[in-house]
Amino acid sequence: MGAWLLAAVLASGPAAPPNVVVILADDIGYGDLGCYGSTVIPTPNCDRLAREGRRFTDAHSPSSYCTPSRYALMTGQYAFRHAPGSGVLSGVAPLAIPTDRDTLPKVLQRAGYRTAVVGKWHLGLGAGPATDYNGAIEPGPRDVGFADSFIIPATGDRVPCVFVRNQHVVGYDPADPIRVSYGKPVGEEPTGASHPQMLTTRPSVGHNDTIINGVSRIGFMTGGQRARWKDEDIADTITGRAVEFIEAHRHEPFFLYFATHDAHVPRLPHPRFRGKSGQGQRGDAIVEFDWSVGQILSTLDKYKIADNTLVIVTSDNGGVMDDGYQDGTATDASGHKCNGPLRAAKGSLHEGGHRVPMLVRWPGHVPAGSVSGALVSHVDWPATIPALVRPGKTADSWPDGVDVSSAYTADGSGRDSLVHHTNGPNGALAIRQGPWKLIPGSPAIGKKAAVEPRLFHLTDDLAESTNLAKKHPEQVARLETLLKNSVGRK
């Protein structure tokens, strides 16, 4: 071998592990992106990912609500198995993930990755009983595998309305301590119930507590005036932090979990995005989300690391229109259907509650412009992502997540079956296997009438318009047994 060739071989060495970027939208539905059929909301950056990667048509969030989906994608465990992570959390709930439990970021940390979470957390903070935001906030993201964090503690419509960087509130002033309550009011802050004349965004349901930036929230807060965010600047702030993380760690393998606020309520996109869609404030928030995706893609391009970066874009649950504020969605006349042809919306066991858009790009590994009908779920990420980035390594064992990496890079069929979950440790469940889906019935209890089981053949009836339970009782019985066995397995 010539000296120049040997030197080239030695210099090339083993391929560098790919970076991993997961971008998790909030409440964006199956029909909200152009590549999934939207004609009124322009999403050129997501559409670019569909052209350059793979678009999934049968991808599912682990739950039809946010906290349990986020718990499951971190731990590879259905959230209904672990009560603290199974329901929508307040802004003072303790950390829902046990610190001794393995997680996706911990696995990647052990593999040499620099890990970060930026954006919406909503998995609890602190040891309880209620989070104290006036000092080091522990345990938190660092204790479940993230070396760096810049987070929204809960949601935009829940207090506290502050960012937390690593273990501390950004802009904290010890002379103005933060008090938060989800019971009785604290301090003298006006509320939506007591001072509706101060609102610039009015609630449609609930959301009558402390007013911050003209928006009444869920929960009460006082103090932390200097630390409070401005809603219209949230996307700019968290996207900027995500870009900074990539820039700082572009010379080493990194894992960025970027959980955006868009399009969760309150939907208050930056003024430069107002009027950019054909669906009012909600559509404009999705345009803002697409801009955030574009900033990440542009940063990867700028530093020439796009070809060695696995990018996943998806949503935490199905889309929803009116979700608590008067933002025009209740009277939307655009004809836009946030979940496309699917039945129902966020919070439902029907497909609109959990079948979500999912785009995957990894040049040279994921076929460009491809479409997969494989059954996949975010609960599979702790098993699947390490399998993709650590080929040949022994697969980690997860309670419910399975390795479906062949569905990302080849023609794998994905999962055999999947349990769907709504909210809470005793929340309603459904089961899916192949084309068949069962939402179990329930007996009459007191004044509550019995509910018949609902059986659908999704290949023939994606809209779940025809209940086949009476026609195929054998499928009902089979799927009831499968669900019982799946739930009973720890």
Render pLDDT for 17-53 as a digit per residue (tens, 0 to 9): 999 999 999 999 999 999 999 999 999 999 999 999 9
Closest CA to 391 of 379, 373, 378, 409: 409
Q: Helix, strand, coil proportions of the chain in percent (round to 5)?
A: 30, 20, 50
pLDDT at 443: 87
Give the pLDDT band (50/70/90) at residue 390. Answer: confident
pLDDT at 6: 43
3-state class (DSSP) for residue 120:
strand
140-169 in b/e form (b: 16+ CB < 10 A) is: bbbbbbbbbbbbbbbbbbbbbbbbbebbeb
Average pLDDT over residues 313-328: 97
- CATH of 428-488, picked from 3.40.50.300, 3.30.1120.10, 3.30.1490.190, 3.40.50.800, is 3.30.1120.10
Render pLDDT for 257-313 as a digit per residue (tens, 0 to 9): 999 999 999 999 999 999 999 999 999 999 999 999 999 999 999 999 999 999 999
* Residue 255 to residue 151: CA distance in whole angstroms: 16
Please name every residue paired with 276 in a beta bridge, in sequence order, or none if there are none. none
Give the pLDDT band (50/70/90) at residue 15. Answer: confident
> What is the residue extent of each domain of the chain?
16-413, 428-488
pTM of the model: 0.96
Please give the mean pLDDT across all residues of the chain: 95
Render pLDDT for 255-267 as a digit per residue (tens, 0 to 9): 999 999 999 999 9
Residue 4 reports pLDDT greater than 50:
no
* Residue 38 to residue 54: CA distance in whole angstroms: 18
**Tokens (6 digits) for 46:** 């997501």
Give the pLDDT band (50/70/90) at residue 123. Answer: very high
Give the pLDDT band (50/70/90) at residue 387. Answer: very high
Bond prior to 139 in cis (omega within 30° of 0): yes
- Consecutive H or E run containing 359: strand 355-361
Residue 158 reports pLDDT greater than 70:
yes
- Consecutive H or E run containing 336: none
Give the pLDDT band (50/70/90) at residue 9. Answer: very low
> Is the CATH number of domain 16-413 1.20.1050.10?
no
pLDDT at 392: 67
**Tokens (6 digits) for 41:** 């909301």
